[in-house]
C-alpha cells in the first residue's frame, strides 16, 4: 500500500499535490495504512480461530439440552444491536479524531516552514497556545474513543454474566424436574463459554472495522484522485520543435481568468519573453507549457499535435527548466546535477564551467552534500546547479523562470552569453518582470493587465 501510494503521488496532477503540505500527506497516509492493516492483527486472527471452537461448543450444547441452548442463542440479537449502536458511534468519533489529527499535522507542517518568521516576530507564545488548543481537541476525541471501547467491553461482560446466571437459574428449574443433572448444568456452562465468546468476537468484527473504515475511505479517496495521462503518442526529438497556443485560457476560479485567449507560435531558434508583474500569471503560463495543468480552454499543439493526444513524459524530456524555486535533494552536487544520468567526466566538467559552479566545486568538491532543499548552499549556487541540470540534459527547449534573480552580475552575463551563443538554435522561454532586459529580436508575451483592475480580463500582446 505504501508503494502504491508513492507511485500514485508521482503521477498525481499538480493541482492535487499543491493542496497538501509534506507533513500532512506523510502522516495522513501512514495513519490510514497502519489503521487499515490492523484488521490482520491478533484480534482478527483470534476471531477466525475461535469459529471452530464455537461449532464444537454448539454441538455440545444441543446434545446436553436443546431447550437450554435457546438461552445462549438469545444473546446473538442482543449483542448485535448493542454492537451496532457502539460501532456507529465509534466510526463517527474516529472520523472526527482523524480530521482533528490531519488538521494538526497540516498546522504543524506550516509551523515548521515558518520557524524563522516565528522567531523574528516573537510569536512563540501565540503558536504554543494554538498547539495546546489543537492537542486538547484531539485528546477529547481520544478520550471519547476510549470510553466507547470501555462501553463495549463492559457490555460484553454484562451480557456474558447475565447469560450464565440465566443458565444456572433455568438449569436449576430443569434439574428440580429431573430433566437435567447437576453435572449436565456444569457441562452446559462450560460449553457455553466456547460459544458465547466466539459469537461476541464475530459480532465485534463490525465494531473493530468501525475504527478502520474512516481510514479506508480516506485512503481510497486519495488513491482515486486523478493522475496525469500516461498514454499517447511519443514526441521524439526532431529537427523542428514547435509550440502553438490557440486561444488558450485558464481559470482558477470561475469568471476570473488568470490567462485569457493566449495565442502564439514558437519554435527552435526563437527567444520568447514572458513579461508581467507579480501575480500576472507567468508561473501558470509556464505550467501550461510543461503540461502540469490540463484544465484549460483552447488548444495547445506540439509539432501540430494536440497535447491531449501525446505522451506527457516524452514531451517533458524535451524541456529543461532553470527556476528561482529549484528543489535540491539532500544529496551531493553531482547527484543534483546528473539526477541519475550517465555522462563522461569531460561533459560534467564542461557543464560545471559553463554554469559558473567551477569555483564552488573546487572549494567543496562534487561530493559536497547540499542539505535539505539546498539549505547548505546560497540561492545563487542553487540557480547555478539548476543551470548545470539544463546544460547536462541538452534539451531543445529551455525555460528560464526568473533564473537570474539570485545571481551576481558576472553570473547573469554568463547566462546571457550561453543564451546568445550556446543556445541560439534552441527554443528559449524566459520569464521575467524586467522589461529592460528585452532585446529588439525577442518575441514578447505581455501578461500585464494594462493597469486595469485585477478582476478584469488580462490582455495578451505578442511583439
Highest mean pLDDT among 143-152, 202-211, 375-384, 436-445: 143-152
pLDDT for 460: 46
Q: Would you say residue 48 lies in a domain?
A: yes
Q: Are residues 207 and 313 in the same domain?
A: no
Q: In what order do the strands lie in the sheet with 296-302?
A: 256-267, 242-253, 296-302, 305-306
Q: Would you say residue 231 lies in a domain?
A: no
* pLDDT, average across residues 105-127: 87
Percent of the chain with pLDDT over 90: 14
Exposure letters 298-333 (e unless 16+ CB within 10 A, then b): bebbbbeeebeebbbeebbebbbbbbbebebeeebb
Q: Are residues 270 and 364 in the same domain?
A: yes
- Residue 255 C-alpha cell reads as 469568471
Q: Any idea what the CATH number is for the domain that residue 147 is in?
A: 1.20.1560.10
Q: Are residues 308 and 216 in the same domain?
A: no
C-alpha triplet 71, 75, 79: angle, nearest 5°? 175
Give one word for 340, left, alpha or beta, with left for phi > 0 and alpha for psi -120 to 50: left
CA-wise closest residue to 71 among 152, 160, 132: 160
Q: Would you say residue 228 lies in a domain?
A: no
CA dist list (Å): 237 to 52, 270, 305, 319, 450: 66, 17, 14, 11, 38
pLDDT for 331: 92
Percent of the chain with pLDDT over 70: 90
Q: Are residues 253 and 179 in the same domain?
A: no
Residue/partner pairs of 34-43 with CB below 8 Å, 24 or more apart: 35/211, 35/212, 35/215, 36/1, 36/212, 36/215, 36/216, 36/219, 37/1, 38/212, 39/208, 39/209, 39/212, 43/201, 43/208
Q: How far apart are CA 177 and CA 175, in angstroms?
A: 5
Alpha-carbon torsion, ordered 382, 383, 384, 387, to 10 deg: 130
- CB-based contacts of 224: which residues, under 8 Å, 6+ apart? none
pLDDT for 324: 74
Q: Which range among 80-89, 230-239, 324-333 shows the weakest confidence by mean pLDDT?
A: 230-239
Q: Would you say residue 24 lies in a domain?
A: yes
Size of the chain in residues? 463
Comparing 166 with 408, the larger pLDDT belongs to 166
Torsion sign across C-alpha atoms 308, 314, 316, 319: negative
Comparing 436 with 287, the larger pLDDT belongs to 287
Q: Concatenated DSSP letters for 426-457?
A: SEEEEEES-GGG--TT-EEEE---TT--TTSP
Q: How far apart are CA 370 and CA 101, in angstroms?
A: 33
Comparing 199 with 396, the larger pLDDT belongs to 396
Sorting pLDDT into bands at 50, 70 and 90, what band is 65?
confident
Whether residue 452 is predicted with pLDDT greater than 60 in this model: the reply is no
* pLDDT, average across residues 361-378: 89
Q: Are residues 171 and 320 in the same domain?
A: no
Predicted structure pTM score: 0.72
Domain that holds residue 201: 2-223
Please state, rounded to an integer, the average pLDDT across all residues of the chain.
Answer: 83
Give one word for 388, left, alpha or beta, with left for phi > 0 and alpha for psi -120 to 50: alpha
Residue that finishes a domain, picked among 223, 250, 268: 223
CA-wise closest residue to 400 among 411, 240, 410: 411
Alpha-carbon torsion, ordered 365, 369, 370, 371, to 10 deg: -160
Torsion sign across C-alpha atoms 253, 254, 256, 261: positive
Burial (CB < 10 A; 0-12, 13-18, 19+), residue 451, is: exposed
Q: How far apart are CA 219 and CA 31, in angstroms?
A: 10
* Predicted confidence (pLDDT) per residue in 123-140, tens digit: 989 999 999 999 999 999
Residue that finishes a domain, picked among 223, 253, 285: 223
Q: How far apart are CA 175 and CA 294, in angstroms?
A: 80
Comparing 240 with 303, the larger pLDDT belongs to 303
Q: Which range among 142-156, 220-234, 407-421 shows the weakest confidence by mean pLDDT?
A: 407-421
Beta bridge partners of 272: 429, 443
CA-wise closest residue to 380 among 422, 354, 349, 410: 410
Q: Are residues 389 and 248 in the same domain?
A: yes
* Predicted confidence (pLDDT) per residue in 202-239, tens digit: 777 788 888 888 889 989 999 998 888 878 888 765 66
pLDDT for 456: 32
Q: Are residues 165 and 255 in the same domain?
A: no
Residue that finishes a domain, picked among 193, 223, 253: 223
Q: Name residue, grid cell 468476537.
A: 201
Please name the residue ranges forming H helices in 20-123.
Answer: 22-37, 42-64, 66-73, 75-113, 115-120
Q: Are residues 59 and 204 in the same domain?
A: yes
Q: How far apart are CA 275 and CA 264, in angstroms?
A: 14
pLDDT for 373: 84
pLDDT for 132: 92
Chain centre to alpha carbon of residue 37? 19
pLDDT for 451: 31
Q: How many domains is the chain built from?
A: 2
Q: Would you say residue 235 lies in a domain?
A: no
Q: Are residues 187 and 316 in the same domain?
A: no
Q: Are residues 111 and 180 in the same domain?
A: yes
pLDDT for 204: 78
pLDDT for 168: 84
* Predicted confidence (pLDDT) per residue in 180-198, tens digit: 888 888 888 887 887 887 7
Q: Are residues 39 and 183 in the same domain?
A: yes
Q: Where do the DSSP E strands lie in 173-324?
A: 242-253, 256-267, 271-275, 296-302, 305-306, 319-323
Q: Would you say residue 406 lies in a domain?
A: yes
Whether residue 338 is predicted with pLDDT greater than 60 in this model: the reply is yes
Q: How far apart are CA 98 and CA 215, in angstroms?
A: 8
C-alpha triplet 414, 427, 296: angle, nearest 5°? 125
CA-wise closest residue to 250 among 296, 186, 299: 296
pLDDT for 461: 45
Q: Would you say residue 229 lies in a domain?
A: no
Do residues 23 and 105 touch, judged by C-beta distance below 8 A? yes
pLDDT for 160: 85
Q: Would you say residue 237 lies in a domain?
A: no
Q: Any idea what the CATH number is for the domain that residue 293 is in?
A: 3.40.50.300
Sorting pLDDT into bands at 50, 70 and 90, what band is 454?
very low
Do residues 429 and 268 touch, judged by C-beta distance below 8 A? no
pLDDT for 463: 41
Compute and round to an integer the Cα radius of gyration of the chain: 34
Q: Are residues 373 and 435 in the same domain?
A: yes
Whether residue 403 is predicted with pLDDT greater than 80 in this model: the reply is no
Comparing 362 with 201, the larger pLDDT belongs to 362
Amino acid at each position: 500500500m505504501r508503494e502504491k501510494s508513492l507511485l500514485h503521488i508521482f503521477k498525481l496532477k499538480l493541482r492535487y499535490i499543491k493542496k497538501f503540505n509534506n507533513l500532512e500527506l506523510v502522516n495522513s497516509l501512514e495513519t490510514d495504512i497502519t489503521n487499515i492493516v490492523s484488521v490482520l492483527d491478533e484480534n482478527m486472527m483470534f476471531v477466525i480461530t475461535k469459529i471452530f471452537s464455537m461449532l464444537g461448543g454448539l454441538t455440545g450444547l444441543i446434545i446436553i439440552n436443546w431447550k437450554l441452548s435457546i438461552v445462549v442463542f438469545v444473546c446473538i440479537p442482543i449483542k448485535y444491536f448493542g454492537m451496532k449502536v457502539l460501532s456507529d458511534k465509534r466510526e463517527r468519533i474516529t472520523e472526527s479524531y482523524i480530521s482533528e489529527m490531519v488538521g494538526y499535522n497540516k498546522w504543524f507542517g506550516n509551523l515548521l516552514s515558518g520557524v524563522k518568521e516565528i522567531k523574528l516576530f516573537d510569536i512563540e507564545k501565540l503558536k504554543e497556545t494554538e498547539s495546546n488548543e489543537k492537542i486538547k481537541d484531539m485528546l477529547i476525541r481520544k478520550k471519547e474513543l476510549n470510553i466507547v471501547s470501555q462501553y463495549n467491553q463492559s457490555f460484553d461482560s454484562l451480557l456474558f454474566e447475565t447469560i450464565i446466571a440465566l443458565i444456572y437459574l433455568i438449569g436449576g428449574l430443569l434439574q428440580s424436574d429431573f430433566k437435567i443433572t447437576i453435572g449436565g448444568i456444569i457441562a452446559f456452562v462450560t460449553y457455553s463459554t466456547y460459544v458465547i465468546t466466539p459469537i461476541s468476537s464475530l459480532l465485534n468484527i463490525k465494531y473493530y472495522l468501525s475504527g478502520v473504515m474512516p481510514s479506508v475511505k480516506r485512503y481510497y479517496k486519495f488513491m482515486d484522485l486523478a493522475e496525469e495521462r500516461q498514454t499517447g503518442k511519443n514526441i521524439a526529438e526532431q529537427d523542428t520543435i514547435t509550440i502553438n497556443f490557440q486561444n488558450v485560457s485558464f481559470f482558477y476560479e470561475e469568471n476570473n481568468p488568470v490567462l485569457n485567449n493566449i495565442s502564439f507560435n514558437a519554435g527552435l531558434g526563437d527567444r520568447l519573453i514572458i513579461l508581467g508583474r507579480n501575480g500576472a500569471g507567468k508561473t501558470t503560463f509556464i505550467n501550461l507549457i510543461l503540461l502540469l495543468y490540463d484544465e484549460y480552454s483552447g488548444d495547445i499543439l506540439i509539432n501540430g499535435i494536440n497535447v491531449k493526444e501525446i505522451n506527457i513524459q516524452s514531451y517533458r524530456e524535451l524541456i529543461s527548466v532553470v527556476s528561482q524555486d529549484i528543489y535540491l535533494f539532500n544529496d551531493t552536487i553531482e547527484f543534483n546535477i546528473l539526477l541519475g544520468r550517465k555522462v563522461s567526466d569531460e561533459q560534467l566538467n564542461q557543464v560545471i564551467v559553463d554554469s559558473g559552479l567551477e569555483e564552488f566545486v573546487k572549494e567543496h568538491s562534487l561530493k559536497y552534500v547540499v542539505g535539505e532543499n539546498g539549505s547548505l548552499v546560497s540561492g545563487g549556487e542553487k540557480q547555478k546547479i539548476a543551470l548545470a541540470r539544463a546544460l547536462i540534459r541538452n534539451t531543445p527547449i529551455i525555460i528560464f523562470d526568473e533564473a537570474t534573480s539570485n545571481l551576481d552580475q558576472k553570473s547573469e552575463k554568463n547566462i546571457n552569453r550561453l543564451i546568445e551563443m550556446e543556445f541560439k538554435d534552441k527554443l528559449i522561454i524566459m520569464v521575467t518582470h524586467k522589461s529592460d532586459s528585452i532585446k529588439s529580436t525577442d518575441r514578447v508575451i505581455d501578461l500585464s493587465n494594462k493597469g486595469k483592475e485585477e478582476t478584469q480580463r488580462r490582455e495578451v500582446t505578442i511583439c
